[in-house]
Structure 1
């Protein structure tokens, strides 16, 4: 299997997404070294992390739509190439402001990679069971990036400084492009309403900016952009969100946002605690996340098989329960293990859940919608939990408890929708079928 073209291409797609997710976490342990080198305030440190995430979140819907329209393979190659080139520019950034701007461009390239990668997986694996197993491989290779970022970042920063974390990306981008060589995708028949896409990007960007800076003007402009987006969505001949997408997938979208809120916020506040009050070096801080990393390297493969057999619901419920319990015990080793198990149960199941409900030909858009919500959740997690924790042990405990409560509430909601769905399915199965007249 490992030598088949299909697996080679899946590995190449996963490697690109590994890069995209790696850059959401790898910079975290480099923040003290980055500030010593380029200066800046605590808010600048937040924006060095969130500049990438805000642009990533704001561009994901467009990345998915562009992939569906112009062909996933073509857009994937464009995104991966841009990611490698911009990463090299980040390594050469002379100041904090330029680095934040380049991180935003990197987020745009990452959105093109992600939106197209989900479309490519849907293209390569058309049957639901095969797609679920592929999602498990994809999540196993990429989910580790979320947790491996601090360890890899710690090794590189300790040895070579913060600039080295960006120099890893270009050679990996080249390997990804080599792995997907020969892969082609048909172009979609529809057209992109660029006005709607611009407003959607503006709304997500303003929302993320309002969350990060607790800005009332940005929040007000986000509400205006949302109103305009709803108006345009109602009158557009080809809406940016296919009919019924939100209604069918809202439980998955809610879960994705809360999971990323909890994980990204926890990663941020725990890292600052370890390197601040507890005096850990970047490498020591990275090693502290190993109990979280290891479960994600193997459990996602098991989750993919379970989703293929039983559907995404049970894995999502188990993942939320483990994540909530783990957050209450973090940053202890047992807490980190439970968080890693919870994340690796949720991630592949969530993608399979949302993509499976998407109308035909809109896998990229559906994946973009899910990941846009997830990244908004990540921005909110870093902003809110960062303020609650403020680098102290007591504050970090309060922030982690907040995330655990939100995760537990989401579990309650998912249990309700899962039970209601099973009940509806049971009632449908009992409806008698009348014989033909």
Structure 2
């Protein structure tokens, strides 16, 4: 029989779509592992500080280098998956993530842990975009594909809820190294479930690594400037700040001239899309501030810190289903505004609770409102951005939105580590939460002001001089 016979082609198609649910579970487990790594590490911070003889700033860098590498490599990894094949990039990402997790678990010093955490972020960046491409290949029909992506995305909520609790239990059994070891069996199961190749058409996309390298360098030096300022080393802080500004400006110029830019030309002047990117950074800034700071300012056990975060993390896992209905009924802007109302109030309550002492009810209410803030805002952001940019740019929008979210997380980890250090020195533990509340209040203003401006313009009566047919058409 000929190798290109219709029968062989049919067998290949049958093999491709045989039991896709098994491989969907494997793909989702890989995504679960990536997201679990961020939340589970939060409760391990005090244990890392004791074991590796480092301070709050040092343990802050373990979060910063991970999110920094993830932010810088996400869009590049999507292009790499298109060019080399999503299945190959996915397998490399999962294998590398498991190996780098094991290296983190056995890191003898904080310096080596930071190196391995950066590598971990790079492999995480390989997993996220390739996972979406594999799901699209497994489920070619739009209806089944939408349900599969929803199931894949729901894993993020489960990881958010499970991470602090699982981390607290693992640290109680062993120490911080266990939170990295747990990734190894998860990676092996994901590889086992996805052992059957998933055929995805490749696209000959141009790869341009220089803008992504510039983004990583800009984030690293900007973070260093924040930490130096927090330690009141003003000369290095100013020099690092100027260097970060120059690198950022240079990266922007390089990106515009690049054959494969991070930001496509059609999105550069789209103000509504850039507002969505800013909202994503603001939400992740606030979320990372809470997850990073709570275990450090409460001075409790890892299990206690994990339990304290449950009011927020459980809502992040469950409430997106209701948010989807809100988006369907009212559009994405209403839940975004609701989230940016809930977030500052919740952060302010957390600030009160951490300042005045043992107030579990106030703390729980603040965390609950922060959970509403995350779960109302984030699910609606992608829909809003895609609506403003058009479906043709959906892939670029999704990649940049995820990258800007990680930028927000990177800055939050740096600022929180500095402000929590001052809390240990006797200053108020409310500072990181109040800064995050201001960031979210600015998000609310940018979500409301454009609509108020339009309403004001519509309420101004037309001038008699302009009451011509041409003028009226122009006004409309």
Q: What residue is the counterpart of 2:294 in the other structure? A: 270
Distance change in 2, residues 1:237/1:43 (3 Å): closer
Distance change in 2, residues 1:165/1:120 (3 Å): same
Q: What residue is the counterpart of 1:296 in the other structure? A: 316
Q: Which moved more, 1:117-126 or 1:162-171?
A: 117-126
Shift of 1:90: 1.1
Q: Find the residue that maps to 2:44 and give its secondary structure.
A: helix
Aligned counterparts of 1:370 and 1:402: Cα–Cα separation in 2: 22
Distance change in 2, residues 1:239/1:402 (3 Å): closer
CA offsets, 1:364-387, max 9 Å, x none?
543332122111211222222343
Q: What residue is the counterpart of 1:427 in the other structure? A: none
Q: Which moved more, 1:127-136 or 1:185-194?
A: 127-136
Q: What residue is the counterpart of 2:305 in the other structure? A: 285
Shift of 1:257: 0.6
Shift of 1:362: 6.0
Q: What residue is the counterpart of 1:322 in the other structure? A: 342
Would you say the 8 A contact 1:257–1:373 is kept in 2? yes
1:241 to 245, 257, 263: 263
Q: Find the residue that maps to 1:26 and give its secondary structure.
A: helix
Aligned counterparts of 1:8 and 1:171: Cα–Cα separation in 2: 17
Would you say the 8 A contact 2:57–2:418 is kept in 1? no
Distance change in 2, residues 1:41/1:301 (3 Å): same
Aligned counterparts of 2:97 and 2:446: Cα–Cα separation in 1: 37
Shift of 1:221: 2.8
CA offsets, 1:414-434, max 9 Å, x none?
12346779999xxxxxx99xx
CA offsets, 1:117-154, max 9 Å, x none?
34445666789887776554334311342353222211
CA offsets, 1:339-386, max 9 Å, x none?
112212222222333456567776554333212211121122222234
Query: Normalising by the residue count of structure 1, what TM-score does the alignment of the two structures yield?
Result: 0.84
1:218 to 240, 256, 263: 240
1:413 to 435, 443, 446: 446
Q: What residue is the counterpart of 2:233 in the other structure? A: none
Would you say the 8 A contact 1:65–1:365 is kept in 2? no
Distance change in 2, residues 1:363/1:20 (3 Å): farther
Any stretches of 5+ residues in structure 2 without a counterpart?
1-16, 230-236, 354-362, 458-471
Distance change in 2, residues 1:266/1:187 (3 Å): same
Aligned counterparts of 1:88 and 1:135: Cα–Cα separation in 2: 29
Distance change in 2, residues 1:145/1:212 (3 Å): farther
Aligned counterparts of 1:127 and 1:212: Cα–Cα separation in 2: 49
Q: What residue is the counterpart of 1:370 in the other structure? A: 401
1:106 to 97, 102, 120: 120
Q: What residue is the counterpart of 2:276 in the other structure? A: 252
2:215 is aligned with 1:184: no
Max Rg structure: 2
Would you say the 8 A contact 2:132–2:149 is kept in 1? no
Shift of 1:60: 2.2
CA offsets, 1:231-271, max 9 Å, x none?
22333344332122244321111001111111111222221
Distance change in 2, residues 1:149/1:236 (3 Å): same
2:183 to 169, 174, 192: 169
How many pairs are equivalent? 420
1:47-126 equivalences in 2 (<5 Å): 47-120=61-134
Distance change in 2, residues 1:200/1:268 (3 Å): closer
Q: What residue is the counterpart of 2:465 in the other structure? A: none
Distance change in 2, residues 1:200/1:30 (3 Å): closer
Aligned counterparts of 1:418 and 1:123: Cα–Cα separation in 2: 40
CA offsets, 1:276-314, max 9 Å, x none?
xxxx11111111111112212221233234445554322
Aligned counterparts of 1:36 and 1:197: Cα–Cα separation in 2: 35
Aligned counterparts of 1:132 and 1:246: Cα–Cα separation in 2: 28
Shift of 1:165: 0.5
Any stretches of 5+ residues in structure 1 without a counterpart?
425-430, 433-437
Shift of 1:155: 0.8
Distance change in 2, residues 1:187/1:360 (3 Å): farther
Aligned counterparts of 2:283 and 2:433: Cα–Cα separation in 1: 13
Shift of 1:66: 1.9
Aligned counterparts of 1:76 and 1:137: Cα–Cα separation in 2: 18
Would you say the 8 A contact 2:68–2:216 is kept in 1? no
Would you say the 8 A contact 1:139–1:301 is kept in 2? no
Q: Find the residue that maps to 2:416 and give its secondary structure.
A: helix
Q: What residue is the counterpart of 2:368 in the other structure? A: 337
Q: What residue is the counterpart of 1:206 in the other structure? A: 221
Q: Which moved more, 1:124-133 or 1:137-146?
A: 124-133
Aligned counterparts of 1:9 and 1:313: Cα–Cα separation in 2: 35
